[in-house]
Structure formats: C-alpha cells, structure tokens
Amino acid sequence: MSWQWRNFPSGSFVTIVMSLPTTTDVVLVDTIQLKANIGADCWGRPREQPISITVHLHLKPSFLDISGQSDNVVDSVHYGHLTKAISALSESFADIRVLVHEVTEKAFALAGENVDAVRVVIGLPKQILLANDFEVEVITPRGKDSLQQAAKVSVKDLIMPVLIGVNPPERLAKQKVITNITFYEKSGMYQVDYPVIIKQISEEIEQTAYLTLEKFVLHIVRSSCLASDAIEAVTTRSQKPSALSFAHSSGVEITRYRDAFR
C-alpha cells in the first residue's frame, strides 16, 4: 500500500488516503539523450541544447502476461526499436510540444493496438538559468492528439538567494532557497513562455524579504498561477538547506488552483 495526496478541484480541502496500487502493464525507455534545436536556450539563443526523453507505454491490461510466461521478447513491445526511432528524429523542432507530439506518434506507431496511452517526459536541463532541469510531461490516450492534452511542466531545483527567516543572523544576509515549481496546464493551451515567467518571479523575489517560507512559497504560487490563462494550478515546494543543523532542509509545499487568486 502507498500514501497518496488527493487535491480536490474546489481547493476547499486536501486529505491523505492510503490506497492499493492498480494493476498496470508498462514498457518504458528511460532518459534517451539527444541534442537538438528546440528554440531558445537559457541565454535566449536558438541553438542545439541537450534533451532527455523518457517514454512510458501504458499497455492493455495483462498484455505482458504473454511475454512474461513465454520469456520471448517478440511477445512484448520492442523498446530497442522505439529507442532507435526516437533517436533518429529531426535535429530541429518548433518547440517542445512539437517534440512531444512526434515522440508520441512514434510510440503509438511502433506499439500498435497494444497501447492504451503514451506518457512522454521531455527534459531540458539548459532551459532555465539557475534551475537543475525543466520538464514537460504529457499523457496521450489512444485516438487523441497530444497537442490538445494538458501538460505538467516542472522547474526543478531552482536556486534563489533570499532574505528570509526570523532569526537575527537571517536578517543580515541572503541564504540559498531551493524551489521546485510544477505548473498544470489546461487542455489545448500550451503557448506559455516559462523562462520569462521564472525570470519575472526571480526579479520579484530579489526586491522582497520574508520572515517565513510560507509567505515566500505562497508568493510564488500566486505569481505562477496568474502568469498565464493557460495555467490551471501550481504546486510549489521550497526548502532552506541552511535552516537546520542536523537535517537536510526545512521546507513548505503549497498547491493552489488559479481560481483561488481571482
């Protein structure tokens, strides 16, 4: 059994439930490394940058029972062929969602009728200055257009120097705060300039000071939610690695829907 957060659309309450895992069959290829021109990099220059691609093929229930019993790869989906097909994609794309679309189409074509949905995660580690990674995740059911599906967009381990804390020494110098921001987009709306959003938020933070992580995180959640009509909700988690002597960090996480700030 596992613990899961369940966030309710009304935003009125959040609860924790313990649930049993669902029965699933998945074939995946984790972190295919490519280089391609996918628009501007973290310096605003359109040039090749490193890309990681992870693909999950969500198969029909119990499909893998056949290969699991026969021990024969021909009874499964050949992930080697999928990897080669993705690695052979073009070296230039209009934007990251076009790349997601092409990878999704390749996955459906190779796996045939055995796949119910394709989950694609694209990582651009050089997309956001001061962040460790930038990821776009899209799940596309069979028969649907990936360009019309809602995306989950993550800015990972964003480092910002912040004047924050209640102790006297914390009021004298900025300290490192590590922030992860997850944007949940609305379906069919993906023209969001995330580097610009993060730049604007970082500039806001530079001009302010906080006593608590709670206010700091809520500030980021509010600014992120209101940054674009395409954003449905935002989760932000921030951690202070210098706060406690015998722990990795102290942290706060807040999830809000955009409607909470109207």
State residue 218 phi and psi, 5-degree precision. -65, -35
User: What pLDDT is stored for residue 14 in this prediction?
Assistant: 58
pTM (predicted TM-score): 0.87
Do 182 and 129 sit in the same domain of this protein?
A: no
Considering its fold, how many domains does the chain have in total? 2
Do 90 and 197 sit in the same domain of this protein?
A: no
User: What pLDDT is stored for residue 42 in this prediction?
Assistant: 82
Tokens 């955009």 locate to 258
User: What pLDDT is stored for residue 233 in this prediction?
Assistant: 96
How high does pLDDT run on average in the chain?
A: 86
- Residue 128 in any domain: the answer is yes
The string of DSSP letters for 117-166 reads: EEEEEEE-TTSSTT-SEEEEEEEEETTS-GGGS-EEEEEEEEEEEEEE-S
Based on its alpha-carbon atoms, the radius of gyration of the chain, rounded to whole angstroms, reads 21
Look at 137-151, 160-174, 176-190 and tell me which has the smallest mean pLDDT: 160-174
pLDDT for 2 beyond 60: no
User: For residue 231, which amino acid is it?
Assistant: I
Determine the Cα–Cα distance for residues 230 and 226; give it in Å rounded to an integer.
9
Higher pLDDT, residue 163 or 141 = 141
Three-state DSSP state, 98: helix
Domain that holds residue 160: 150-262
CATH no. for residue 167?
3.30.1130.10
Q: Which of 238, 242, 239 is nearest to 175 (CA)?
A: 242
The answer to whether 100 and 80 have CB atoms below 8 angstroms apart is no
Determine the Cα–Cα distance for residues 198 and 70; give it in Å rounded to an integer.
50
pLDDT for 6 beyond 60: no
User: What pLDDT is stored for residue 254 in this prediction?
Assistant: 96
Q: What is the pLDDT of residues 183-212, one digit of tens each?
A: 999 987 667 899 999 999 999 988 888 888
The residues that bridge with 92 in the sheet, in sequence order, are 37
- Residue 7 in any domain: the answer is no
The answer to whether 181 and 235 have CB atoms below 8 angstroms apart is yes
Q: What is the pLDDT of residues 145-164, one digit of tens each?
A: 999 999 999 999 999 888 77
- Among the candidates 108, 126, 147, a domain finishes at 147
Q: 15: which residues sit within 8 A by CB, 6+ positions away? A: 6
Q: What is the pLDDT of residues 27-62, one digit of tens each?
A: 999 999 999 998 888 888 888 999 999 999 999 888
pLDDT for 227 beyond 90: yes
- Residue 247's pLDDT band (cuts 50, 70, 90): low
User: What pLDDT is stored for residue 73 in this prediction?
Assistant: 80
Do 61 and 98 sit in the same domain of this protein?
A: yes
The residues that bridge with 35 in the sheet, in sequence order, are 50
Tokens 């206010």 locate to 215
**How many beta carbons lie within 10 A of that of residue 232, not counting itself?**
17
Higher pLDDT, residue 6 or 99 = 99
Higher pLDDT, residue 5 or 238 = 238
Determine the Cα–Cα distance for residues 93 and 136; give it in Å rounded to an integer.
15
Do 141 and 28 sit in the same domain of this protein?
A: yes
The residues that bridge with 251 in the sheet, in sequence order, are 239
Q: What is the pLDDT of residues 117-138, one digit of tens each?
A: 999 999 999 999 889 999 999 9
Determine the Cα–Cα distance for residues 206 and 221; give it in Å rounded to an integer.
16
User: What pLDDT is stored for residue 19 in this prediction?
Assistant: 75
Q: What is the mean pLDDT of residues 110-114?
A: 88
Three-state DSSP state, 75: helix
Determine the Cα–Cα distance for residues 177 and 168; give it in Å rounded to an integer.
18
- Residue 3 in any domain: the answer is no
Determine the Cα–Cα distance for residues 130 and 249; give it in Å rounded to an integer.
19
